[in-house]
């Protein structure tokens, strides 16, 4: 008999919520009340000093970890709710109010899954410096490292977060109205204890509530799209328009990537807009084989979750210094090739030698090169004086294929 009473206390009836439902409800509530302010603080926190950067990363990691926890708790809560009877409304005669409450519950359940999942996808799709605090890795199956995927996920996260906040506000107002205005047991049924209220066999409505919730979600998506939520903007800086070059060798495809260590994790990115003016004639003897001039639109850099910050005045300062230029002689050495020249970046000029491998097949060429730069030489992140916070070394990796212009 005691075991039966314990089981009944754990599960729902048509007039009472069980202990499992109450526990999952309040765990979810605490998670939301923690995740939202953590996210706001993390976004607004400055990172102009090593200490500030560490705090920003801490806040983001806490926000992400709480969000993933909410996701799993919400899934468990939904599965449990599907297996349990739901206590009936105390005022079934108030049809409009009962329908509104059901719609709000559908909006809450859906948002509690979509909001943290979208944030998790954004985290997995981008290179970031704030890990989720758990031992299961930072990636997700079928989610590539992609700025497009990350941008879409970020937009969904923001849009449905607004839906979640509105639905949560309505849910709280409804509970307070029942408790202080109606003075009924609606709120007390979710508090610790064995409060029972309502009629057995009460109705919870049909498909109207979920259909209305779907319409509201669609309206939120439409409004978000109209406000530009899905328009990916890498930074506030204007991407410099580069002039087309008439090169002896025309680049067909290529990548220009950078990588830096931030708080012990590698953050990688790539420049979308750059040009290469190449003159080259391979000779058997060592020495100069040609010249190359590379122009780079700084604001075209995608650097994961820190793209916008990287464009700021403390780092690349893309507004004041919209382009970088690398001019070099192409030299043939005993063990390969070297681009030996000068890199102009953020107003500073520094000598740079980049060794590279070159494969020639008739009128086509493929090259792969790598060089490590010191960001301090270009006054990038001068306030970040701790190598463990933001690495001094920045790896630059270039890969391209080109064909001789007169062979086109």
178 and 278 co-located in one domain: no
- Segment 371-396 shows an average pLDDT of 95
Examine the fold and report which residue of 226, 258, 289 is the final residue of a domain before the chain moves on.
226
Q: What is the pLDDT of residues 15-57, one digit of tens each?
A: 889 999 999 999 999 999 999 999 999 999 887 788 888 899 9
Inside any domain, residue 239: no
Tell me whether residue 95 is in a domain: yes
Residues 20 and 101 in one domain: yes
The answer to the question of residue 240 being in a domain is no
What percent of the chain shows pLDDT beyond 90? 71
Domain co-membership, 34 together with 160: yes
Q: How many domains does the chain have?
A: 2
Residues 146, 204, single domain; the answer is yes
How far apart CA 396 and CA 324 sit, in angstroms, is 13
Residue 314 to residue 50: CA distance in whole angstroms = 13
Task: Specify the pLDDT at position 407.
Answer: 66
More confident residue, 215 or 238: 215
> Is the domain of 272 the same as that of 219?
no
The CATH number assigned to the domain holding 305 equals 2.40.128.110
For residue range 255-284, what is the model confidence (pLDDT) as tens digits? 999 999 988 888 999 999 999 999 999 888
pLDDT at 338 over 90: yes
Does some domain include residue 43?
yes
Structure token pair of residue 257: 């990537």
Residues 186 and 264 placed together within one structural domain of the fold:
no
We report the CATH number of the domain holding residue 6 as 1.20.950
Q: Are residues 324 and 194 in the same domain?
A: no
Read off the pLDDT band of 204 (50, 70, 90): low
Q: Quick one: DSSP state of residue 179?
A: I
- Token duo for residue 58: 């801490």
236 part of a folded domain: no
The residue length of the chain stands at 408
pLDDT confidence band for 142 (50 / 70 / 90): very high
Question: Same structural domain for residues 39 and 160?
Answer: yes
DSSP string over 232-258 = --S-SSPPPPPPP---SEEEEEEEEEE
Q: Are residues 259 and 208 in the same domain?
A: no
- Per the CB < 8 A criterion, the answer to whether 252 and 399 are in contact is no
Does 242 fall in a domain?
Answer: no
- The answer to whether residues 178 and 268 belong to one domain is no
Q: Is the dihedral of CA 107, 113, 116, 119 positive or negative?
A: negative
* Residue 333, pLDDT score: 87
Q: Does residue 255 share a domain with residue 107?
A: no
Residue 2 has pLDDT above 60, yes or no: no
Domain enclosing residue 293, as ranges: 249-407
Q: Do 255 and 359 reside in the same domain of the chain? A: yes
Question: Average pLDDT in the 180-198 region?
Answer: 89
């Amino acid at each position: 008999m005691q075991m039966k009473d314990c089981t009944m206390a754990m599960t729902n009836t048509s007039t009472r919520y069980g202990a499992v439902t109450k526990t999952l409800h309040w765990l979810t509530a605490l998670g939301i009340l923690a995740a939202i302010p953590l996210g706001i603080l993390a976004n607004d926190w400055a990172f102009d000093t090593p200490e500030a950067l560490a705090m920003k990363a801490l806040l983001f990691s806490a926000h992400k970890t709480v969000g993933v926890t909410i996701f799993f708790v919400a899934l468990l809560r939904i599965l449990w709710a599907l297996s349990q009877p739901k206590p009936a409304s105390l005022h079934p005669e108030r049809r409009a109010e009962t329908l509104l409450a059901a719609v709000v519950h559908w909006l809450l359940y859906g948002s509690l899954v979509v909001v943290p999942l979208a944030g998790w996808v954004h985290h997995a799709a981008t290179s970031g410096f704030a890990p989720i605090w758990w031992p299961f890795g930072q990636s997700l199956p079928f989610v590539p490292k992609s700025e497009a995927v990350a941008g879409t996920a970020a937009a969904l996260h923001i849009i449905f977060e607004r839906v979640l906040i509105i639905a949560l506000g309505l849910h709280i107002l409804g509970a307070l109205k029942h408790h202080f205005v109606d003075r009924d047991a609606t709120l007390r049924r979710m508090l610790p204890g064995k409060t029972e209220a309502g009629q057995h066999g009460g109705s919870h409505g049909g498909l109207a509530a979920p259909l209305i919730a779907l319409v509201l979600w669609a309206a939120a998506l439409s409004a978000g799209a109209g406000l530009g939520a899905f328009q990916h903007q890498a930074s506030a800086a204007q991407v410099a328009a580069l002039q087309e070059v008439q090169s002896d060798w025309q680049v067909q495809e290529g990548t220009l990537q950078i990588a830096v260590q931030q708080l012990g994790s590698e953050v990688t990115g790539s420049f979308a807009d750059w040009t290469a003016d190449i003159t080259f004639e391979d000779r058997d003897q060592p020495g100069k084989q040609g010249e190359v001039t590379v122009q780079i639109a700084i604001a075209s850099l995608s650097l994961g979750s820190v793209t916008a910050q990287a464009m700021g005045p403390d780092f690349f300062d893309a507004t004041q210094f919209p382009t970088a230029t690398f001019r070099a002689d192409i030299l043939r050495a005993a063990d390969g090739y070297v681009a030996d020249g000068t890199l102009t970046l953020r107003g500073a000029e520094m000598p740079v030698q980049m060794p590279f491998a070159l494969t020639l097949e008739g009128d086509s060429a493929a090259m792969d090169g790598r060089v490590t730069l010191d960001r301090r030489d270009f006054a990038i992140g001068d306030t970040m004086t701790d190598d463990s916070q933001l690495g001094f070394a920045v790896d630059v990796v270039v890969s391209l294929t080109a064909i001789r212009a007169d062979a086109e």
